[in-house]
Structure 1
Amino acid sequence: MSDIRVKICGLRTADDIETAAKAGAAYVGFVFFAKSPRHVSLEDAAELAALAPMGVCKVALTVNASNSELDAITAAVPLDMLQLHGSESPERVTEIKARYGLPVMKAIGIADEADLPQIDIYSAVADQLLIDAKPPKNADLPGGNGLAFDWRLLAGRKYWQRPWMLAGGLTPETVNEGIRMTGTSQVDVSSGVESAPGVKDQALIESFTRSALGKQG
């Protein structure tokens, strides 16, 4: 499983960045959403992004962000990718790609088979897809809720037009099963490596990444 790529999202400290990078994470994510316990300021995100080693993809997670908000984020923080985690339309995805010249990852919430057609729709416009558990009705957060969905819904579906990433309720104990059941080559974790909401646990980051990459010990 050495070809698996890991994204650790919602990082907020220099130790988080160092641990994720040393563990072998391919992506580090910064959350720009005020309701989230993982939210970071532009100033803090800029400092954290500067600490990420070359070759580690720096991702900004936003939720239905306006152009002015995205202007501020992209001006302040050296980024490699934008992650759209709200209800952005395919047209909005296309607009953001054109405006900022950065690859765009679109998150898609899945609860049952009726949600699957969204994957094909967004694969036509996004550079990558993040397949997450659909948040509960009236949830404050569109992701990072620690919820999983039925991975069997994705079994055998390897022919989407874009690279995709499995998210939603993954932990060091479940990530191998998620990879096995879905055939994904990329996984995303946030709450599954935390000791409290918004507080990353260094040992859990190491354990998750080790499990995902198929490393012993």
Structure 2
Amino acid sequence: MTTRVKICGITRPADGALAAELGADAIGLVFYEKSPRHVSIGQARAIVAALPPFVSVVALFVNPERALVESVLEGCPVDILQFHGEETAAFCRSFARPYLKAVRVREGGVDLAELARQYHDARGLLTDAYVEGTHGGTGCRFDWDLLPSGGVSLPLILSGGLDEHTIAEAVSRVRPAAVDVSSGVESGKGIKDAARMAAFIKGAKHGSV
């Protein structure tokens, strides 16, 4: 199966539209104020309005208050929720919306099989690099050998330090259901680069750039 691609941290309607035109399956909107890629609900609505049909919209949160998630769902068309903090499985599923659970991977620090059991109704586990004091978007890569060789019971989404130069190897070695990139296709924080997005998506879906 072709690896699916999410371009995360979209901050401008033109970038979202271009990502979709280049073949991205999903775009990510960050509702976390500490992120340089944070968007307001108004900005998010403008980005979504620029997208063609059949491109999924993912709303990313980090340990949010319930009111924030509910306000985003009320104010912006969203397909999937992505939780990047220490949210419980009960909290993630309480919005009656498909969700992804992000996991920061480090040696000896995470049991993906157990997390897959806890978050059994998630659409997938998103694996990212563990960096002290942050919750993603660092551009850092983790050791892919830390992932279970036999896989887990949920689809695996690979993130962390991916770019147009590493994506083909990542897909070949890890065989993830999907890949997620943000800083690896940027010319500046929150500003996507057309050439880098094109090369990344080609590498993910066809194995070479």
Please tell me the TM-score bracket, short chain as reference: over 0.9
| 2:24 paired with 1:25 | yes
The 1:146–1:101 alpha-carbon spacing in structure 2 relative to 1, beyond 3 Å, is same
Assess if the C-alpha contact under 8 Å between 2:106 and 2:146 holds in 1: no
Aligned to 2:137: 144
Which residue, 185, 194, 202 being the options, matches 2:186?
194
TM-score, normalised to structure 2's length? 0.92
Assess if the C-alpha contact under 8 Å between 1:57 and 1:80 holds in 2: yes
Aligned to 2:76: 77
- Cα deviation, residue 216, structure 1: 6.5
Aligned to 1:110: 105
- The unaligned stretches of length 5 or more in structure 1 are none
TM-score, normalised to structure 1's length? 0.89
C-alpha separation between the residues in 1 aligned to 2:118 and 2:163? 27
Aligned to 1:124: 120
The amino acid of 1:124's aligned partner reads H
The amino acid of 1:40's aligned partner reads V
What RMSD over aligned residues (CA atoms) do the two structures have, in Å?
1.7
Cα displacement string for residues 91-121 of structure 1 (whole angstroms, at most 9, x for unaligned residues): 32232xxxx3210101011011431345334
The amino acid of 2:98's aligned partner reads P
Count matched residues. 208
Question: Which runs of structure 2 are paired with 1:49-60 in the superposition (5 Å)?
Answer: 49-60=48-59
Assess if the C-alpha contact under 8 Å between 2:140 and 2:160 holds in 1: yes
Aligned to 1:203: 195
Aligned to 1:163: 155
SS in 2 for 1:34: coil
Cα displacement string for residues 41-94 of structure 1 (whole angstroms, at most 9, x for unaligned residues): 100101111222211110000111111111110111101000001111223223
The 1:212–1:69 alpha-carbon spacing in structure 2 relative to 1, beyond 3 Å, is same
SS in 2 for 1:114: coil
SS in 1 for 2:179: strand
The 1:147–1:103 alpha-carbon spacing in structure 2 relative to 1, beyond 3 Å, is same
Q: Percent identity?
A: 36
Assess if the C-alpha contact under 8 Å between 1:155 and 1:183 holds in 2: no
- Cα deviation, residue 155, structure 1: 5.6
The amino acid of 1:132's aligned partner reads D
